[in-house]
Amino acid sequence: MRISAISFDGDMTLWDFNKVMRHSMKHALVELRRKVPTELASRLTIDEMIGIRDQVAEEFRGRVWKLSEIRRIAFERTLERVGCPDSSLALRLNQVYRKHRFEDIELYPDVLPALDTLSPHFNIGLLSNGNSYPEHCGLEGHFAFVVFSQDVRIEKPDPRIFQITARRAGCPVERLLHVGDSLENDVAGAHNAGALSMWLNRDGVRNGTGIQADYEITSLADLPLLLGIGRS
């Protein structure tokens, strides 16, 4: 493989997004119930709050790019759901959520060793549809380039965001390797842009999609060896 740069997805590749998101939503729900001690609020669930957020994201797709704004609007809708519309409280819930969303991120244990091993040999970067900037999640100084969809207003799997990433990395797109957990967003997106793709299949699930990665690993610990780093 003639690779000059490696871009990594963030959520579910470098950290467990679902775990930290639900953990943060739990703290927001506790605050909501404290401020709104009603029967409707007591019956509200985290899954319902996630559903509201997903509906808001779909409704505002292509119009609102800042994910923190999507989350704020979702909290407004949530408060309407429990019969207590309050934009100030929605801001407060968003603050509570964001505090835990970023401060409580736990990197997968294979992340830092892999980045430290690879960085002397390749340009290493972050390419994400999320909003966990390196300085928010314990990864400041680990990436030579960073591309977030909310900043460039293009989302994976659009090939253009991989082309932007290659330019930021200073290499032709065909010499960019993208590593991620999503077959659609990461693998198909990279393939359609002309980049190489590596599917991080942590749970070893069967691929029944028809989308084929150039390479597949179950742990980032396997990546340096696959790229010929660390061999005797």
Note whether residue 231 is domain-resident: no
Q: Are 196 and 172 in contact (CB under 8 A)?
A: no
If asked whether residues 41 and 83 sit together in one domain, one would say yes
Over residues 30-81, the pLDDT tens digits come to 999 999 999 999 999 999 999 999 999 999 999 999 999 999 999 999 999 9
Per-residue pLDDT, averaged over 185-200, amounts to: 98
Cα–Cα distance measured from residue 128 to residue 145, given in angstroms and rounded to the nearest whole number = 12
Residues 112 and 143 in one domain: yes
Both 11 and 21 in a single domain? Answer: no
Q: What is the arithmetic mean of pLDDT over 223-231? A: 86
- Do 80 and 114 lie in one domain? The reply is no
One domain for residues 167 and 88: no
Indicate whether 48 belongs to any domain. Answer: yes
Instruction: Tell me which residue range forms the domain holding 152.
Output: 5-16+107-226
The answer to whether residue 15 scores a pLDDT higher than 50 is yes
Question: CB of 125 within 8 A of CB of 146?
Answer: yes
pLDDT value of position 231: 52
Structure tokens at 97: 């959520």
Distance CA 200, CA 19 (A): 18
Is 50 exceeded by the pLDDT of residue 232? no
Q: Structural domain tally of the chain? A: 2
**Claim to verify: residue 119 and residue 216 sit in the same structural domain:** yes
In a domain, 166, yes or no: yes
Q: Which amino acid is at 193?
A: A
Helical H segments across 36-119, by residue range: 39-43, 46-59, 67-81, 87-103, 111-118
Q: Are residues 114 and 27 in the same domain?
A: no
Specify the pTM: 0.94
Q: 232 in a domain, yes or no?
A: no
112 and 56 within one domain: no
What does R_g of the chain's alpha carbons equal in angstroms? Answer: 19
As given in the structure block, the two tokens for residue 102 are 């970023």
Q: Please check whether residue 175 lies inside any domain of the structure.
A: yes
